[in-house]
Amino acid sequence: MRSWLFVAVLAVRTLSGQPATAPLKTHPLPDLEARKAEVRATIERREFSKALAAVAELNKKIPDDPQVWMLLGEAHLGLGKIEEAEKAAQWMLDLQLGKADPEGYLLVAKIREALKDNAGAMQMVTKAFEATPVEKGAERAGMLRFAARLAAKQGQTAEAARYRAEALKAERR
């Protein structure tokens, strides 16, 4: 009995005019994953123009990849292109449909902070914090410090102090 995948490949090949015995083409994702890692490293080196050019090419090849949209948003944000960063972040969130990772939420938080929407930024920092495992104390501490900064900007000094204290506790875990 043939597997459903084999039957599906035969059907696609037959419908597209390819011989059934033609070798399968390998999927280019491993190469694309390496390119995403290169873009991430370029962003971390703060070479935002170079990163933007590279991630724009990736976005053409895999336009439905939330991580690519996140990288696109980070590159735009690094260049001060807030509106473009916001659009990319929204695409990322739309594609993930509630499955955004902490880094994605933090990107949206940074964009909202840049747009002076500190309350919206706080919502995204909270989502990032909730999506980050307790075992990642240093990451959670960074998020709490971000929340403290946002609270202070909103004149919530007691909340800011509470977040800073929680950040110290999170670092010790």
Q: Which of 73, 102, 101, 105 is nearest to 89 (CA)?
A: 73
* Tokens standing for residue 88: 């990319």
Evaluate whether 54 touches 42 at the Cβ level (below 8 Å).
yes
With a cut of 80, say whether residue 85 has pLDDT above it: yes
Q: Which residue has the higher pLDDT, 60 or 144?
A: 144
Average the pLDDT over each of 7-21, 40-54, 67-81, 125-139 and give the range with the smallest value. Answer: 7-21
Q: What is the set of domains in the chain, with CATH numbers?
A: 106-173 (1.25.40)
Q: How far is Cα 75 from Cα 148, in angstroms, rounded to an integer?
A: 25
Confidence of residue 30 (pLDDT cuts 50, 70, 90): low
Would you state the pLDDT for residue 99? 62
Q: How far is Cα 16 from Cα 128, in angstroms, rounded to an integer?
A: 44
